[in-house]
Amino acid sequence: MMFRTLAAGLALACSSLAAAPIGGPHTDPQGRTAVLVGQTRDGIHHYMLDSRMPLPWGLTMYVAPTLDSGGFTLADGSRSKTASWYAEGFGPQDLAFITGTPQLQGSAIAVGFWMANQLDVDLATGSNRSGSNEGNRLWANVQRMIGDLKATGRPVLLRIGYEAEGPWNGYWPSAYKTVWSKMRAEIRAQKADNIATVWQLAVLCPSHDAWNAGITPGRLIAAKPLALDGKARGTVQNVDMNNVGAVLDAWYPGDDADWTGVSVFDPQDCHDGYGTLQTVVDHLKKKGKPILVAEAAARGFDYDVATGLYAYRQTGKPVREKLAPEQVWREWYQPFLAFVRANRDSIRAVAMISDDWQRYTHWQCRVDAQGKKLAGCNEGNWGDTRLDVNPRLRALWRAELSADGKYLADKPAAQP
């Protein structure tokens, strides 16, 4: 038994030595996994200024080519303000807050660039299918946006058309890849060398067929584009796990991407748990680029400040009340961190969404005891995923970070 244990240990050590970290722009030369936190001005403020957590390696935010987020240069030279509908519905986004707040100086910035609702086609062709591209103004906005991100002087991870295969985005593959080529060329033309690009997948296994598309719940899905225009522009399909690239790579921009990425919200809804996500990550590893967990949160856990306890509420699932923070940690955070560490050779950064989603109208959701919708729930229940709101959860999270809070602590990988 001792010999077998020793042999297994040596094999593991040799395997670890062979798996050198995948490098790329803005990856840590020491091989550490960088930590980012976001995604709204409120969430960042609570994490950094209210709870006084250490500044992470990076902060996250979002912008569209319509420049509804704050802090970007408009055509008249003024700076954009976060649109009220955006701030109230989805949460305030403000580049100026990140760059102008003293406590946030020195952080990298990960920017999710949203271009759904046919904005991808407008940017690619100069059309106005979205109704927002009069005079091809969107491309001029993108050019100024790239200039603004260059001017930050900080490492930037630009997630162009994030969650590429997500049916909710409806990206048209050829237009999507054309936008990627145009934006990459513009980054080079402006010599914006601080900007690295990220191609991100959603990796969703829905618990039920919300599209009535005949898919198998609990299995990986992707959009199935059908037509550029019309009511039936696309549907949803299951992805063959023996050849995920046959579907997912329809949106892959090739060498225009510096990083690849994934979202991690509900891996427990996949029939094999983290197995599906591992299959996708293994596929991405073959592209030889660092991987960013671009969006991650313990979706569906609501927090009660008065009791210090959580409740799991999700559409279509029975409600579970009075959950201790330690239980939430065991259910979601432990398996997630184990997965990240098991893939530390390729997952070079992790972006956590530390936000009270229920604060914003689009994300608000109420369900009955069996998970039947009572109000809201446009995209299910997202809950309160703030890492710092509960003292015990905050302590558990802090123990997973390096002394300066910028990286995951160097701990052995466990089974997710």
Verify whether residue 165 is a known catalytic residue.
Answer: no
Verify whether residue 295 is a known catalytic residue.
Answer: yes
pLDDT exceeds cutoff 70 at 8: no
CA-to-CA distance for 203 and 181, rounded, in angstroms?
A: 24
List pLDDT tens digits, range 394-404: 999 999 999 99
In the chain, what percentage of residues exceed pLDDT 90?
93
For residue 158, list its beta bridge partners: 111, 197
List pLDDT tens digits, range 274-313: 999 999 999 999 999 999 999 999 999 999 999 999 999 9
User: For residue 127, what pLDDT band results from cuts at 50, 70 and 90?
Assistant: very high
pLDDT exceeds cutoff 50 at 12: no
For residue 58, list its beta bridge partners: 36, 108
Candidates 24, 60, 94, 77; CA nearest to 288 is: 24
User: For residue 414, what pLDDT band results from cuts at 50, 70 and 90?
Assistant: low
* Residue of 163, 326, 331, 400 with catalytic role: 163
* Residue of 88, 165, 186, 295 with catalytic role: 295
CA-to-CA distance for 122 and 115, rounded, in angstroms?
A: 9
List pLDDT tens digits, range 40-81: 999 999 999 999 999 999 999 999 999 999 999 999 999 999
Structure confidence at residue 14 (pLDDT): 40
pTM of the model: 0.94
pLDDT exceeds cutoff 80 at 11: no
CA-to-CA distance for 288 and 276, rounded, in angstroms?
A: 20
**2 vs 157, which has greater pLDDT?**
157
User: For residue 231, what pLDDT band results from cuts at 50, 70 and 90?
Assistant: confident
Domains and CATH numbers, the chain: 28-306+321-360+383-398 (3.20.20.80)
**6 vs 167, which has greater pLDDT?**
167
